[in-house]
Structure 1
């Protein structure tokens, strides 16, 4: 095709060697199309980067009343809870949800390549995952509304927590208690090696130490894949230091659970020998007596659904942006041992509670 030429249905039909009517039925998932023919038409559409016009779709049959929801994990409580809140709002509005589980890099490539040509939807909601530049272009080529929840995706209307603010609540709490040697267990997504450790939560750690006049020692930071077992391994690394920390800040509660297991197996008391704080307020955090920074997960899904309904009605989204978090103090944090060389050596520093 010559550059800057708009691709239309006739181009797809010509490339696939079928009539325009057949191409249209194949792209709309009509049941009376042979699978071989459908595959040929879809391949032609992908080769030409053809996208079904939302306006033409509505003229042909009105709105689809379908919303595509893209999620990297289904079994994890965070994503399931986000989805529960979102789906409840969309269901009440008589909108159907098409769930796309993109569990690894191959699933992501397949989704972002195929969705524009294969599905007609009124909107796309991205849950708890960053959207890369090429993926963003692919989404935007659909010409539909896009909303994000559970992560800061500032290219679209979104609802999430402020990760840096949540991190400061966690680290400032440890500083307020008198800890001066604080470790951090940062996480990366194991199925997406290109995703960095959470930048906001890591930045909060560095900034809090700097404001307290404390050095950021590289040895006190361990980065591991997300999960409880990696959290346990990270705690083992911190305990192997000549001078271990007196407190540990974990990027998530699940990682903190693993760290607590290692401490108990090593015969150390929590919080007398080591304090541990996480982020999220996992459903098991209260039973584990874990101090954490709670975020309203289901509420974020609900807010994203309401934002989307406002957009579909032609209005402006309300209730988006960042939502507040709160420190929940339980039994896993306390002052360092009296007389410890790593304990507070001056008057208490007011923490940002």
Structure 2
């Protein structure tokens, strides 16, 4: 922003009500040239207000059909994570997903579940709904869900957590049950937070730095008029990267005994 001669003002919202209030007031106040919205979903009224006022708005890690939006391809990321576990011999894979909120058009939890289905379907594996749990996106949510999976008599040999923070909770649960990772359990998360590299956690890394930079470029282009204001908004899906580290190991697939 500063390189483009623009002043950057950071505004942090603490609640949905505060966010809605800010979005609805902003087009009337006209105190900014443009708005970069990160991981927040404007409602239809707010998006329509931005368009009516001719405001330059770009969403990052969020989506609305009226606004240019940059998102990660969550389906592909989850597919690559589960495919990786399958390629390492795992056949019973637990999935700890985040809360699925149907109110949002862009739903990473739903997309990651689609990616799971795609991977196990391609491998010819059955879908086992009892191995799919929904939890809060935090460490406590991951730990609680992992305890349910890992205390099953037929526990999974691998777990895919929909966030790295949840995956850290899985590590805590495994440790409390004396289950070795990766000796007894393989694990992969999603996001690529800095702590995942420190902990050698396998993950699907989101290109957040590039996404932010691209979002700024798109916003400046709108502000400076190099993008036709009448052109349709863009939906840009960025590809994540698979990072295989020390929490995944290869297991021998079970072979059923045959009688002759």
* 1:148 counterpart = 2:79: no
State whether structure 2 residue 201 is matched by structure 1 residue 286.
no
Q: Tell me: CA distance 1:106–1:93, structure 2 relative to 1, closer, same or farther (3 Å).
A: same
Q: Could you tell me whether the CA contact under 8 Å between 1:186 and 1:197 is conserved in 2?
A: no
Distance 1:151 1:113 in 2: 18
| 2:248 paired residue among 333, 342, 349 | 333
C-alpha change, 1:236 and 1:112, in structure 2 (3 Å) is: same
- Indicate the residue corresponding to 2:6 in structure 1: 95
Contact 1:178/1:344 (8 A) holds in 2: no
Distance 1:306 1:313, change over 3 A: same
SS across alignment from 2:183:
coil
The total of aligned residue pairs comes to: 249
1:323 aligns with 2:238: yes
Alpha-carbon separation, structure 2, partners of 1:305 and 1:250: 30
Work out whether 1:117 is the aligned partner of 2:28: yes
Give the corresponding residue for 2:188: 277
2:137 — aligned with what? 226
CA contact (8 A) 1:188 1:198 kept: yes
- Does structure 1 residue 179 correspond to structure 2 residue 90? yes
Report the equivalent of 2:161: 250
Alignment of 1:46-65 (within 5 A): none
**Whole-angstrom distance in 2 between the partners of 1:156 and 1:114:** 18
Q: Give 3-state SS (helix, strand or coil) of 2:250's partner.
A: coil
RMSD between aligned alpha carbons? Answer: 2.4
Change in 2 beyond 3 A, CA 1:207/1:153: same
Aligned-partner SS, 1:245 = coil
Is 1:158 the counterpart of 2:69 in the alignment?
yes
Return the offset for 1:138: 2.9
CA change 1:193–1:108 in 2 (3 A) is: farther
TM-score for both structures, normalised by structure 1: 0.65
Q: Judge conservation of contact 1:149–1:300 (CA < 8 Å) in 2.
A: yes
**Quick one: which of 152, 160, 171 aligns to 1:241?**
152
Whether 1:303 aligns to 2:222 is no
Change (3 A) 1:193 1:157: closer
Structure 2 unaligned segments of length 5 or more: list them.
Answer: 229-233
Give me the whole-angstrom Cα distance separating, in 1, the residues matched to 2:124 and 2:247. 25
Query: 1:17-55 CA deviation, whole Å, 9 max, x = no partner?
Result: xxxxxxxxxxxxxxxxxxxxxxxxxxxxxxxxxxxxxxx
| Counterparts of 1:148 and 1:344, CA distance in 2 | 46
**Structure with higher RCO (Cα < 8 A, 6+ apart):** 2
Structure possessing the higher radius of gyration over alpha carbons: 1
Q: Could you tell me the TM-score, scaled by structure 2's length?
A: 0.86
Q: What is the CA distance between 1:313 and its match in structure 2?
A: 2.2
Unaligned runs of 5+ in 1: 1-89, 347-353
Measure the CA separation in 2 of the matches of 1:121 and 1:109: 17
Whether 2:40 is the aligned partner of 1:129: answer yes
Q: Using the TM superposition, give the Cα deviation of residue 263 of structure 1 relative to its aligned residue in structure 2, in angstroms.
A: 0.5
Contact 2:71 2:236 in 1 (8 A): yes
